[in-house]
Amino acid sequence: EAGVTQFPSHSVIEKGQTVTLRCDPISGHDNLYWYRRVMGKEIKFLLHFVKESKQDESGMPNNRFLAERTGGTYSTLKVQPAELEDSGVYFCASSPPPGTGATASQETQYFGPGTRLLVL
């Protein structure tokens, strides 16, 4: 079974440019999460999709970040325009639909390899 994949693995852009990150979750996983780790800090939640709907986007830092998951399959995270502080590793994770009586947060999340973004 293929794991969570992310593209690109690395991206170096200049301040003010636009970058789009892509995540392909494990097939059948309704839940898709975006996280970010800024150097030396903890992993921080950005948002959570259930199928194509945004369940929780409370972690999105500002309106320069736009996440989509058209059709409930892969997801994209666009940063426009990019700023220096956006540099970091962007992780995507997916999890299956929760079992009876469970919540999404109680399911194992499978992480992708991350996209390393550097804004110069």
Partner 1 sequence: ILNVEQSPQSLHVQEGDSTNFTCSFPSSNFYALHWYRWETAKSPEALFVMTLNGDEKKKGRISATLNTKEGYSYLYIKGSQPEDSATYLCAFMSQFYFGTGTSLTVIP
- Contact footprint for partner 1 (CB under 8 A): 4, 33, 35, 41-45, 48, 56, 59, 91, 102-103, 105-114
Nearer to partner 1, 41 or 71 (CB): 41
Written as six digits, the tokens of 20 are 């789009």
Tell me how far, at minimum, the Cβ of 98 lies from partner 1, in Å: 10
Tell me how far, at minimum, the Cβ of 112 lies from partner 1, in Å: 6
Sign of CA pseudo-dihedral 79, 5, 47, 90 = negative
Query: In this structure, what are the phi and psi dihedrals at residue 71, rounded to the nearest 5 degrees?
Result: 75, 0
Tell me how far, at minimum, the Cβ of 106 lies from partner 1, in Å: 4
Tell me how far, at minimum, the Cβ of 50 lies from partner 1, in Å: 14
Question: For residues 10 and 117, what is the distance between their CA atoms, to the nearest angstrom?
Answer: 6
Burial level of 35, CB count in 10 A (0-12/13-18/19+)? buried
